[in-house]
Amino acid sequence: MPEQSMNGLIQNIHSSINALDTKEISTFFDNTVEFTYINTHSTLTRGHALLILNDFYEKHKPKSFKVDYTGSTPLGDGRYILGSALTESGTFKLYFYVKERSGKFFIEELKIVK
């Protein structure tokens, strides 16, 4: 994947959720992802995280996604994206924690909460 900006990552996440394209989002997953889905928390491989994200999409089809806030961590070692996904079964908050390595952003943590 080519180098990208944080704004490019945000745009890719936004368009991928709105297009119901979990595979595109998963291309930004790190090798392992801290994944919180409703009340379950696990460290998952990229492939397993994609399966869980697909499960979320099947059970709660997203209709739209908006980015509520972006920023840097207090220590400056990472960035985060907070957003709201309007789905067929209500609104969910999505939290992405990303780190940059060699000009590429990796999603290291994804939380989906109601």
Strand partners, 37: 40, 112
Predicted local confidence at residue 77, as pLDDT? 82
d(CA 22, CA 20): 6
Domain coordinates of the chain in residue numbers? Answer: 6-113
pTM of the model: 0.88
Q: Which helix (H) or strand (E) holds 52?
A: helix 46-59
Whether 107 and 35 have beta carbons less than 8 Å apart is answered as no
Residue 44 pLDDT class (50, 70, 90 cuts): very high
Mean pLDDT of 59-87: 90
Mean pLDDT of 62-68: 91
Angle value at C-alpha 65, between 59 and 66, nearest 5 degrees: 150
The topology (CATH level 3) of 6-113 is: Nuclear Transport Factor 2; Chain: A, (3.10.450)
